Structure 1
Amino acid sequence: MAGHYDDKRAACIEALRYVQGHYRWVSDRHLAEVAALLDMSRADLDGVATYYNLIFRRPVGEHVIFLCDSISCWVMGREAVNAHLCKRLGIQPGETSKDGAYTLLPIVCIGHCDHAPAMLLDDELHGDLDAVRIDTILGIQP
């Protein structure tokens, strides 16, 4: 992977995503290994990893829900959607459900403002959210 770049440090995001694809998150050990392979300091690579909100530096659930935190989503009912997700999953934003199935995370605008409020469930975009739609998406009976 690093061979595709003039400077192998340029492969850092791709390398972090590769690790995350296998382990679902990037542990300190994996971060150190990738940093060594790319001739980067651990601190520099950690700075990259923590800058991008799609790189997880701690374990996450089997499914990650990113709830949009943009002004459009707030105006269109994000608070109610957040409250419903928290109630249904038994967690608060930033937490993972006890069964390890879901992690709920806020994310800055996901660009689906015309269908606010919106969320990403893994890599799938969902908009026009309300309690009924959320239950349907998650396969939860009301």
Structure 2
Amino acid sequence: MNEDVKILLVETDSYQKELFSIILEEAGFKISSAETVAEAVNFIDNVCIPDIIVSDVILPDSSGIDLIIILSEKQIYIPSILISSFRHSELRLRYFMNKEEIHAELQGTGFRAIIEKSADVETLLKEINNIIISSKLKSAVNN
């Protein structure tokens, strides 16, 4: 079932990228990766549109938030999960944007959740599976 689901992982830290890739591949997902917003947009424009994006919040050339906004401006709405390396995302992201502001900023885009990188693997897989179930329900309703 999961082997048909394509995930674009946008992560600069090689250890985290490898870890998430292994976990997601073992769960049966097809994984592609990018390290910057520019690489992710190029991949989506020129290679394929993934079913789900899992992106770090802070990237070298911009942010995962900006990635979602850029795609939305192009009328590309990919279900997206932002990941943060901070233990207490709401507190640590306050200098950047708190959770409520992120939700408001990304309303009407593909944004679905923010999770901490330190959260257990099941949290990420649960969010991904929620997206898959939601997509299947929408597809069934539209058909």
Q: Tell me which interval the TM-score lies in, with the shorter structure as reference length.
A: under 0.3
Q: Give the TM-score taking structure 1 as reference length.
A: 0.25
Which structure has greater strand proportion? Answer: 2
Q: Compare CA radii of gyration and give the structure with the larger one.
A: 1
